[in-house]
Structures are given as structure tokens and as C-alpha cells.
């Protein structure tokens, strides 16, 4: 990147060879980009596996792969999408890229630890993908590794589980880093309630990462111990308890779904005021809602186990709590909507993705209420309804928030602008494809088709065909979006420092920022988003 | 039209419709507002935003109303669910075994079947049993499902309200043949049920040798083919008398002859000698299910397979 400004931007390698300058960097922006590129690669691998599954399901019987291969496909697809894409996702990429900028700081609290997190991430990722190539075939347990099947199967479960364990450490360290950064590195004048809402969301998320991830780490290690040493923890044949595994697994993995969605909500809370030119409505309500979600989210894990043989009162309590955790999310949606009221709305791609997020997340959340209720969950648990539901939340929610963040901070990070017209078209293609792909899954679940099915009864065929066609449209949309982004990075027009007229500190510095972010550490005198 | 297939159908469907209606209301309302704002307050039309102050009353309203609504949803979910856990006295008890990858139903008079036959309008309780991994017995038409957990005595019950045949599926992932772990529940009038129930003959047809019947009854054929193809375990074709390369418990590889004793060991202690190319731990011991006499019949059947070719 040529440098016409008075300082060099953070792309300057300062005389070092490029590979060394990047692989030993402690600059939060460079680490953010390292995450961005590696995450994108894994995401695309995951999409490819999803595409293959959908192709297999276009008609009953074998279409593309054998049953065993199919089971490996959905397991790896799940592991990649969960542990390599949505969980690190927005915090690792956009948290790293922007958190110090938003807080008016020069870097995160522990820059070297930050680099270590990325190496752990890459190590875990390589381990996960190499299950494809070494050992007795990719794991075939589903991303949940439910015992006792995960203890009995001959496939390469141990390696996949170890990779999730390592990835957990990466996540814990990022959480620790962000917590310390937010506590210690805010610039003068930035009180807690003058912090941008994305920082609030990262704050709540980091607590979950720090407190919940160790539980799943230990649980996954227990699987390895059981496989290698034959110690009976979860397999009843050895004297273990399979339901215990489910409890331990979901004690982490339910809070983890809030690790996935909270940062996405934070992104939306940045974009909507900027493109409505309105102060965000209910700043405190949104900030507290993040904390409430993080807190209540710890106590709802049992809703994954309504049919597993829990006691009656436990089922009832978990159901009530599940409904309550929906409230803070609803509050956020209402406040976003109120922020648009009387605003001056500019429907640029970031805003489009943000509104797309709201719509898809609504369907995801509302379908979540259906499975949160006891009677309906008994029918829909472990069916395609659940597959539809979590894709709406994780892909329609977090995924679209990721794309929104990308289109929003793109000029800041790359100093250039993508083609707005094509980016808008790509959005519509992706959005259409998404609904054609996943809405039929909700229908299939109601009809009674279980998930993780290599083959299905003939009555389920029509929605399956529609869904498969949807997967092609979705992938076309993704490719379109990527082409627009790559072209933008390569030879987009030079962007101004603040093309969207944002008010948060990230927009008050150069694009791309200098290595140290700010020449002079700024001082904050009012809340963010005070459009007048 | 409105009579559900089981007594639970209505409660579940009511809860579903209540939640769905409220949800659709919210989805349509919010989406409409969103589109309307985008049009009305578009920058071209409305270049100057108007400041709007935070409003605590509004925040309280849109916290309290959704809270009340979700509690209504919870209530309907709970009401529809409550009867599922209260088994009426006098329910017909059937032991339902889910194993990799077949279902088996044992009635109290010793009758066994691979499909579930029950009388119309009578409560039926299924005691769920798994010898290997998790399964889940799912009858979509009846709106019920419960996990079949090894080591745990889970149960479910239902009362059918309509004659006919309905699908039984396994809903908890259980390995390579998960999507083929299917069966049917057949609802018949009570007299027809009693006739069926009191014939000691099992559903298996009598042309088959006793050995094959034992293999089918215990679900062996889900994993072992009779035609030489490899499923999960080795095929039965050409097995008897052949030389087998196996790994024993100490991890030593050796070659043994598949004689009567070998067959018995493979059934009672499946992990003691695992044939090369297959996985340990996938098969469990059938010590409780298959008697030594039955093993003799199995051996006879295996021998007959060799003669056929
Ligand atoms: C074009 C993109 C995608 C396609 C075509 C796709 C397709 C599918 C299908 C068909 C299944 C169900 C497999 C089965 O139950 O038999 C599935 C499962 C899953 N998907 Fe996706 N998916 C896509 C993107 C994503 C994304 C972006 C995420 C996460 C952010 C995701 C997360 C998951 C997870 C966690 C599972 C569950 C795996 C398991 O059952 O263990 N998928 N996907
Ligand atoms: Cu099963």
C-alpha cells in the first residue's frame, strides 16, 4: 500500500520481509486481518461441505456419497462452522480490528498474547482438518460428540476433540485480553456509558468465553481419557453416565451460542445509528440487555435435553428460563427499530446487511421459542426444524452480522471502497438464497424428518429439493459478494477517512489507521452516536 | 379431520399454533415497520434526522408485554406436555429396544416383534432400553419422542386415536445406519390386537431357518450381510470355517478358524477378537439375549450359507 499521508499506515512492513512482518506482528489490526483471512478459508471449506450434503439430500437414496462419508461431512461441517467460524468470528476478526480504535487505545492490553491466540487458533484448525487425512477417517459423531457413541466409534474422534480443546484456549485468551483492554485501556473521558455498544457486546461475550470455555475443555478431555484409557466416565458399559456428558457439554455450549450472537448484535448497534444519523435509542437498555443475555444464558442449557430423561421439574424450570432469555434480545430489536424512527436512513450495504440480520435473526429467535416450549420441543427436537432454527440464528444472525461488519469497516481497514451497486445486488442474491435454503428445513422438521439423516422417506422429498436449489443460490450470492470484496481490496476507489460520517473514535483516525492508531490519544466528552 | 392420531396431538398442535401466531404477528409487525421507516425516513426524503429522547416508559412497555406473551407461550407448552409424563394406570407395557440399527418390541407375554402393534384407544407405555448408544424413539404423527439412553430407564406413553400405520424413526444420531433405523406402529381394533397378541408365532415367516430368525430378531442383520457385502461388520456369507485374521484384547494379531467356539465367542465377547478392517466396541455382548441353543441354530444357518453357493 503506497503511503501518501504524513505517517505510514499499518500495512508498512518497516523493512522486514512481508512474511516475517505479518507472522510476528503484535499489531491488533494485523492480527485481526490474519484471523480474517484464515477464517474466510475455513468458512469456505465449511460451505463446500454443506453444499455436498445438500446435494446428497436432493433425492432419497444415494446421490453423491456413502452414508459413512455423509456422517463425516456433517460432523466436519459443524465443527468447522462452530469452532472455526462463528465462535471466534466477530470478536477475533472485528474485535481485534476495531476494539482499540473504538476505545481510543493504541493496542489491546496483551499484544503478544493476542498473537499466541491466533497461533493456537491455527494449530487447532490444522488439527481439525487433518482428521480428514490421517487416522481412521473423519469423526462421525456430529459436532456435539455425544457419548457413548463418541467413545465407541472407530473414527478419528480424539483428534477432533483435542482440536476443539486447543481452540478453546485461543478463545479464552482472546476473552481475557479484551476484558483487560476494556477495563484498563479506555481513553480519557470514556466512562463505561460512553463506550460504543460493540465494545459492550464484546465485554459481555468475553466473560462468557472466560468462564464457560474451561468446562467444555475438561469435558472434551474426558472423552479422550475414556477413549484412550478406558476409564468409564460416560459409557454405561464402563460404568459411566451418558446424560452427564450432555449436561457438561451444554453448560458450555449453550452460553457459547451467546458468544456467537452477542458480538453480532454489537455490530448492528454500531451500524444502525450511523446510517440513520440518529442517536441510538435506549443505549443503556441495549448495554444492560447484553449483560442480561450473558448472565441468563448460563442457566438454560437444559433445553437441549428435554427428551433425554431429565426430571419433570428440571424440564419446566429450563423451559421458563429459556423464554426469559428471549426478552433481552427482543428489547434490542425494539430499540434498533426506534433508532430508525425519524432518522435519515441511508440504505448502503452495511445497513442492508444489518436489516437483513434483524429479519433473519427474528425468524431464528421466534423459531427458538417454538422449541423452547415443552410440548412442541418434544415433537421438533432433533429434527430439521432445529437445523433450520440454528442456521437462521448462526448464519442469518452471526453470519450476516459478520458480512455487515465487513462492509461497514471495509474502508477503514483497507482504505478503499467496494462497488456499492454490486455489493447491494450480492446482498439480495444471498438473502434470497438463504431463505430458499433454510425455510424448507423448518417445514421438514414440522413434518417429522429427523436431522443427521443420510437418507429419508419419500414424503420428505419436495422441501428437500427446494432447499438444495436454495443452497446453489446461496453459494452464488456468497461468490458474488466475495468477488465484490476482492475487487474492492485490489483496486477499489480510495476511501475517505470517514466515508459513513460515523461518530465513534474508529472513524476519527486515518483509513487505514497508522500503526499506533492515533497521533494523540483522544479525549471523549460525550456519549457515542450524538448526532445533532 | 381434527381428530389427531394420538391424544397428545391436539395439545401439541395448540401450543404450536399459539406460539406461531404470536411469532408471525411480531415478524410481520417489525418487518413492516422496518420497511416503512426505510421508505419514510429515507435520506432523500428526510435529509435531516429529528432527535428522539430515550423513553423509559416505552422501554418498560416493550419489556413487560413480551414477557407476558412468552409466559403465555410457556403455559401452552407446559399444558400440552404435562399429560406426556403421566402414564395412566393399566397401560399396556411394552419393552422397546433400540439398538444399532433396529427396533424391537417385547410384550409382557413374551411375544416379540419388529413393528409395534397396539390397540386403538388404549394407553400404551413403552419402557425404553438401549444396549449400545443413544437412540430416540420418535413417532411424528403422535407428536412424541423420548431418548433411549443406555443405562437409564426412560419411558414414554401414548394412546392412539386413529387406526392405521405410522412411521417410527430414530431421532438421535447413532452411527452409520441412523437414517435406516425405522419401524412402524400399527394401530388396530382391540379384537384384532388380541388375536395377534395371543398367537405365539412371531411375525417372522416360517420358511426361514430358525438360525436366521434369531439373527433377524436380534437385529444382527443390520450390520452383517448375508450376500457378501460389507456393512458395518463382516458378512455372514462364507464365514463359517474360514480363516480369520483377528486382533485380541492385548492387541496381538493372529489367525483363527471360524468354528462353533469362534462364533460363540464373537457373540458373547465381541471385542475379544476383532476381525481385521473392522472397529472394536461397535458390537455389544449378546450374552443376555441369545442362548447357547440359539447359537447352535445360528451355526447351522451359517453352514447352510456355505452350501448354497
Ligand atoms: C451454504 C451454506 C450452508 C449449507 C448448504 C449448510 C447445510 C447444512 C445441512 C444440510 C446440515 C444438516 C446436516 C444433517 O443434519 O444431516 C447442516 C448442519 C449444520 N450446519 Fe450448516 N450449512 C451451511 C452453512 C452453515 C453456517 C454458516 C453455519 C454456522 C455458522 C453452519 C452450521 C451448521 C451446524 C453447527 C450444523 C450441525 C452439524 C451436526 O449436526 O453436527 N452451517 N448444514
Ligand atoms: Cu438410533
Looking at ligand 1, which residue's alpha carbon is closest to its atom 5? A50
The three-class DSSP label of residue B164 is strand
Closest to A375 (Cβ–Cβ): which among B12, B70, B282?
B12
Is residue B203 situated within a structural domain? no
Average pLDDT over residues B251-269: 86
The three-class DSSP label of residue B122 is coil
pLDDT of B126 > 90? The answer is yes
Find out whether the beta carbon of A141 lies less than 6 Å from any atom of ligand 1: no
Grid coordinates of A517: 492508531
pLDDT of residue B202: 52
Find out whether the beta carbon of A476 lies less than 6 Å from any atom of ligand 1: no
pLDDT digits 0-9 by tens, A123-145: 999 988 888 777 777 888 888 88
Upper half-sphere CA count for residue A458 (Cβ side, 13 Å)? 0
Average pLDDT over residues A514-526: 87
Looking at ligand 1, which residue's alpha carbon is closest to its atom 38? A78
Average pLDDT of chain A is: 89
Q: Which of A253-257, B70-74, B236-240 has the highest mean pLDDT?
A: B70-74
Last residue of a domain, one of B198, B232, B255: B198
Find out whether the beta carbon of A53 lies less than 6 Å from any atom of ligand 1: yes
B141 shares its domain with B190: yes
Q: Which residues contact B3 (CB under 8 A, 6 or more apart)?
A: B161, B162
Is residue B2 situated within a structural domain? no
Number of compact structural domains in chain B: 3
Can you give the residue ranges of every domain in chain A?
Answer: 21-508
In contact, A438 and A367? CB cutoff 8 Å:
no
pLDDT: is B128 or B273 the higher one? B128
The CATH topology of domain A21-508 is Cytochrome C Oxidase; Chain A (1.20.210)
B40 shares its domain with B128: no
Is residue B204 situated within a structural domain? no
CB contact under 8 A, A374 and B172: no
Candidates B209, B235, B206, B239; CA nearest to B220 is B235
pLDDT of residue A421: 95
pLDDT of A51 > 90? The answer is yes
pLDDT digits 0-9 by tens, B27-62: 999 999 999 999 999 988 888 888 888 888 888 998
Q: Which residues contact A105 (CB under 8 A, 6 or more apart)?
A: A99, A181, A185, A186, A187, A517, A521
Q: What spacing in Å lies between the alpha carbon of A236 and ligand 2's midpoint?
A: 17
Closest to B172 (Cβ–Cβ): which among A236, A282, A382?
A382
CB contact under 8 A, B49 and A340: no
Pocket test for ligand 1, best of A81, A144, A464, A468 (most atoms within 8 A of CB): A81
pLDDT of residue A465: 96
- The torsion region of residue A342 among left (phi > 0), alpha (psi -120 to 50) and beta comes to left
pLDDT of residue A6: 53
pLDDT digits 0-9 by tens, A204-225: 999 988 888 888 788 888 888 8
CATH of residue B228's domain is: 1.10.760.10
pLDDT of A103 > 90? The answer is yes
Other C-beta atoms closer than 10 Å to the C-beta of B228 total 13
What is the atom index within ligand 1 of the atom nearest the CA of A51? 5
What's the pLDDT band for A3 if we cut at 50, 70, 90? Answer: very low
| Distances in whole angstroms, Cα of residue A180 to Cα of each of A113, A173, A183, A207, A450 | 12, 11, 5, 11, 44
Grid coordinates of A432: 434470497
Looking at ligand 1, which residue's alpha carbon is closest to its atom 40? A142
pLDDT digits 0-9 by tens, A354-406: 999 999 999 999 999 999 898 899 999 999 999 999 999 999 999 999 999 99
Q: Please give the Cα distance from B54 to A504 (Å, whole number).
A: 19
B127 shares its domain with B157: yes
Query: Which residue is listed with cell 410440548?
Result: A375
In contact, A396 and A435? CB cutoff 8 Å:
no
pLDDT of residue B215: 84
Which alpha helices (DSSP H) does chain B contain, by range? 9-40, 56-85, 190-198, 210-217, 260-268, 292-308
What's the pLDDT band for B243 if we cut at 50, 70, 90? Answer: confident
pLDDT of A245 > 60? The answer is yes
DSSP state, residue B175: S
Q: Please give the Cα distance from B282 to B268 (Å, whole number).
A: 13
What's the pLDDT band for B200 if we cut at 50, 70, 90? Answer: low
In contact, A189 and A218? CB cutoff 8 Å:
no
pLDDT of A444 > 50? The answer is yes
Last residue of a domain, one of B85, B100, B133: B85
The ligand that comes nearest to the alpha carbon of residue A449 is 1
DSSP track, A20-85: HHHHT---HHHHHHHHHHHHHHHHHHHHHHHHHHHHHTTSSS-SSS-HHHHHHHHHHHHHIIIIII
pLDDT of residue B3: 57
Find out whether the beta carbon of A470 lies less than 6 Å from any atom of ligand 1: no
| Neighboring chain B residues of A236 at a CB cutoff of 8 Å | 150-152
pLDDT digits 0-9 by tens, A145-196: 887 888 777 777 888 888 888 998 999 999 999 999 999 999 988 999 999 9
| Distances in whole angstroms, Cα of residue A176 to Cα of each of A19, A114, A180, A207, A210 | 27, 10, 6, 8, 6
ipTM above 0.95, yes or no: no
DSSP state, residue B287: T
Q: Provide the shortest C-alpha distance from residue A166 to chain B (in Å).
A: 26
CATH of residue B44's domain is: 1.10.287
Q: What percent of chain B has pLDDT over 70?
A: 95
B99 shares its domain with B184: yes
Q: Provide the shortest C-alpha distance from residue B191 to chain A (in Å).
A: 30
pLDDT digits 0-9 by tens, A331-357: 999 999 999 988 899 999 999 999 999
Is residue B1 situated within a structural domain? no
pLDDT of residue A2: 43
Average pLDDT over residues A423-441: 96
Last residue of a domain, one of B147, B170, B198: B198
What's the pLDDT band for B244 if we cut at 50, 70, 90? Answer: confident
pLDDT of residue B239: 86
Domain membership of residue B79 as a residue range: 9-85
Q: Provide the shortest C-alpha distance from residue A410 to chain B (in Å).
A: 22
What's the pLDDT band for B131 if we cut at 50, 70, 90? Answer: confident
pLDDT of residue A434: 97
What is the atom index within ligand 1 of the atom nearest the CA of A437? 5
Looking at A404-413, A418-427, B206-215, which range is the least confident one?
Answer: B206-215
pLDDT: is B284 or A81 the higher one? A81
Q: Please give the Cα distance from A384 to B12 (Å, whole number).
A: 18
Q: Please give the Cα distance from A273 to A530 (Å, whole number).
A: 9
pLDDT of residue A4: 45
B120 shares its domain with B51: no
Is residue B214 situated within a structural domain? yes
Q: What spacing in Å lies between the alpha carbon of A491 and ligand 1's midpoint?
A: 34
CATH of residue B104's domain is: 2.60.40.420
pLDDT of residue A5: 46
| Neighboring chain A residues of B47 at a CB cutoff of 8 Å | 344
DSSP track, B209-269: -HHHHHHHHTTGGGTS-SSS--SSS--STTTTT-EEEEEETTS-EEEEE--HHHHHHHHH-
Amino acid at each position: 500500500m503506497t503511503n501518501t499521508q504524513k505517517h505510514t499506515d499499518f500495512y508498512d512492513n518497516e523493512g522486514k520481509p512481508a512474511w516475517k512482518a505479518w507472522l510476528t506482528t503484535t499489531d491488533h489490526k494485523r492480527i485481526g486481518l490474519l484471523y480474517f483471512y484464515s477464517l474466510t478459508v475455513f468458512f469456505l471449506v465449511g460451505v463446500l461441505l454443506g453444499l455436498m450434503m445438500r446435494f446428497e439430500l436432493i433425492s432419497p437414496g444415494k446421490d453423491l456419497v456413502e452414508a459413512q462419508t455423509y456422517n463425516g461431512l456433517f460432523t466436519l461441517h459443524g465443527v468447522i462452522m462452530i469452532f472455526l467460524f462463528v465462535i471466534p468470528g466477530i470478536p477475533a476478526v472485528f474485535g481485534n480490528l476495531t476494539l482499540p480504535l473504538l476505545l481510543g487505545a493504541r493496542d489491546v492490553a496483551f499484544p503478544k498474547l493476542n498473537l499466541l491466540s491466533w497461533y493456537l487458533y491455527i494449530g487447532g484448525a490444522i488439527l481439525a482438518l487433518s482428521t480428514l487425512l490421517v487416522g481412521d477417517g473423519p469423526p462421525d459423531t456430529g459436532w456435539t460428540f455425544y457419548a457413548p457413541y463418541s467413545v465407541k466409534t472407530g473414527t478419528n474422534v480424539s483428534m477432533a476433540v483435542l482440536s476443539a480443546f486447543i481452540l478453546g484456549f485461543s478463545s479464552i485468551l482472546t476473552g481475557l485480553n479484551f476484558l483487560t483492554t476494556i477495563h484498563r485501556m479506555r481513553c480519557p473521558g470514556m466512562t463505561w456509558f460512553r463506550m460504543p455498544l460493540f465494545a459492550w457486546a464484546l465485554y459481555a461475550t468475553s466473560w462468557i468465553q472466560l468462564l464457560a470455555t474451561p468446562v467444555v475443555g475438561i469435558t472434551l478431555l474426558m472423552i479422550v481419557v475414556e477413549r484412550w484409557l478406558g476409564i468409564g466416565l460416560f459409557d454405561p458399559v464402563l460404568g459411566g453416565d451418558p446424560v452427564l456428558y450432555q449436561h457438561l457439554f451444554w453448560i458450555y455450549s449453550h452460553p457459547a451460542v451467546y458468544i456467537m450472537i452477542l458480538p453480532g448484535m454489537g455490530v448492528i448497534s454500531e451500524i444502525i445509528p450511523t446510517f440513520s444519523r440518529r442517536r441510538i435509542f435506549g443505549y443503556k437498555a441495549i448495554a444492560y440487555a447484553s449483560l442480561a443475555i450473558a448472565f441468563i444464558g448460563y442457566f438454560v442449557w437444559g433445553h437441549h435435553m428435554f427428551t433425554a430423561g431429565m426430571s419433570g421439574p428440571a424440564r419446566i424450570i429450563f423451559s421458563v428460563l429459556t423464554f426469559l432469555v428471549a426478552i433481552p434480545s427482543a428489547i434490542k430489536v425494539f430499540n434498533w427499530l426506534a433508532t430508525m424512527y425519524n432518522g435519515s436512513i441511508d440504505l448502503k450495504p452495511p445497513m442492508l446487511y444489518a436489516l437483513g440480520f434483524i429479519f433473519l435473526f427474528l425468524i431464528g429467535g421466534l423459531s427458538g421459542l417454538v422449541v423452547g416450549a415443552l410440548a412442541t420441543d418434544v415433537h421438533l427436537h432433533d429434527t430439521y426444524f432445529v437445523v433450520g432454527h440454528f442456521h437462521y440464528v448462526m448464519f442469518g444472525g452471526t453470519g450476516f452480522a459478520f458480512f455487515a461488519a465487513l462492509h461497514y469497516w471495509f474502508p477503514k481497514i483497507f482504505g478503499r471502497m467496494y462497488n456499492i451497486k454490486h455489493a447491494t445486488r450480492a446482498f439480495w442474491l444471498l438473502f434470497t438464497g438463504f431463505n430458499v435454503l433454510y425455510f424448507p428445513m423448518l417445514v421438514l422438521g414440522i413434518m417429522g424428518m429427523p436431522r443427521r439423516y443420510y437418507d429419508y422417506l419419500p414424503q420428505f422429498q419436495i422441501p428437500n429439493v427446494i432447499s438444495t436449489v436454495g443452497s446453489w443460490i446461496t453459494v452464488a450470492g456468497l461468490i458474488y459478494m466475495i468477488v465484490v470484496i476482492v475487487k474492492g481490496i485490489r483496486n477499489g476507489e480510495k476511501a475517505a477517512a470517514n466515508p459513513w460520517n460515523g461518530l465513534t473514535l474508529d472513524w476519527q483516525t486515518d483509513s487505514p489507521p497508522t500503526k499506533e492508531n492515533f497521533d494523540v490519544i483522544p479525549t471523549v466528552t460525550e456519549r457515542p452516536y450524538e448526532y445533532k | 379431520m381434527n381428530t389427531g392420531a394420538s391424544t397428545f396431538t391436539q395439545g401439541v398442535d395448540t401450543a404450536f399454533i399459539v406460539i406461531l401466531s404470536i411469532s408471525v404477528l411480531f415478524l410481520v409487525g417489525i418487518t413492516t415497520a422496518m420497511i416503512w421507516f426505510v421508505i419514510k425516513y429515507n435520506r432523500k426524503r428526510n435529509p435531516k434526522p429529528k432527535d428522539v429522547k430515550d423513553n423509559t416508559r416505552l422501554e418498560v412497555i416493550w419489556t413487560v408485554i413480551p414477557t407476558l406473551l412468552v409466559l403465555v407461550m410457556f403455559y401452552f407448552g407446559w399444558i400440552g406436555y404435562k399429560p406426556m409424563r403421566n402414564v395412566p394406570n393399566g397401560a399396556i407395557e411394552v419393552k422397546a429396544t433400540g439398538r444399532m440399527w433396529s427396533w424391537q418390541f417385547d410384550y409382557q407375554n413374551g411375544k416379540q416383534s419388529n413393528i409395534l402393534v397396539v390397540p386403538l384407544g388404549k394407553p400404551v407405555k413403552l419402557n425404553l432400553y438401549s444396549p449400545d448408544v443413544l437412540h430416540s424413539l420418535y413417532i411424528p404423527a403422535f407428536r412424541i419422542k423420548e431418548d433411549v439412553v443406555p443405562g437409564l430407564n426412560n419411558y414414554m406413553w401414548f394412546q392412539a386415536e386413529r387406526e392405521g400405520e405410522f412411521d417410527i424413526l430414530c431421532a438421535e444420531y447413532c452411527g452409520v445406519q441412523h437414517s435406516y433405523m425405522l419401524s412402524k406402529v400399527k394401530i388396530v381394533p382391540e379384537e384384532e390386537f388380541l388375536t395377534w397378541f395371543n398367537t405365539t408365532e412371531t411375525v417372522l415367516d416360517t420358511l426361514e431357518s430358525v438360525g436366521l430368525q434369531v439373527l433377524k430378531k436380534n437385529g444382527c442383520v443390520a450390520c452383517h450381510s448375508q450376500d457378501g457385502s460389507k456393512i458395518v461388520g463382516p458378512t455372514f456369507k462364507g464365514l463359517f470355517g474360514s480363516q480369520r485374521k483377528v486382533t485380541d484384547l492385548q492387541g496381538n494379531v493372529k489367525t483363527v478358524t471360524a468354528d462353533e467356539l469362534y462364533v460363540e465367542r464373537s457373540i458373547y465377547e465381541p471385542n475379544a477378537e476383532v476381525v481385521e478392517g473392522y472397529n472394536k466396541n461397535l458390537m455389544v455382548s449378546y450374552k443376555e439375549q441369545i442362548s447357547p441353543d440359539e447359537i447352535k441354530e445360528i451355526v447351522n444357518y451359517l453352514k447352510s450359507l456355505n452350501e448354497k453357493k
